[in-house]
Structure 1
């Protein structure tokens, strides 16, 4: 039993080290990249927590709801929204969300 506990402890240390190395590699790739592509919601994951960018480009901004845009915006000094005003509006299925105005896009609110 003591041998098994020691082996399990070694396995746990190796997994922790692996996680640390993976996070370090990902942070290096993101911080050294010229362009980082992500969805608005993915900009809020732990790996993106401390990332800052000179510019943020939100494509199809007429379909991006305000809450989704508020995830990446604080990470950037400049925000550029690409819009096609003939695009479909965002899809909001929840009636309460619609009543609260969450079906409006960030672009609509800026205008």
Structure 2
């Protein structure tokens, strides 16, 4: 509609996880990362792109497997949870604490229930 200007949050919400994963590619270390992107991770110390790029890359692969309905129980779920927790901590320790207190116990319970079903 003419005359309607979307809010920043509306635009960001439409960007895919793949967009963010590739925006954090190491080829942008001396351009986007140093000038701007590092500020998106205020709790990343030291502010090294590789430290955030690796877990985001692994999480992107995990998300793709889930989106394509591929099994993920053979994954190292502990590493997946560690990656999620770390990236959240780089962004917002409060969100990281919420995730660790609410979502991580549920993930562990699901994994434990799955293990109990295996022969």
TM norm. shorter chain > 0.5:
no
TM-score normalized with structure 2 length? 0.25
Structure whose residues are more often strand by fraction:
1
Q: Tell which structure's C-alpha radius of gyration is larger.
A: 1
Structure whose residues are more often helix by fraction:
2
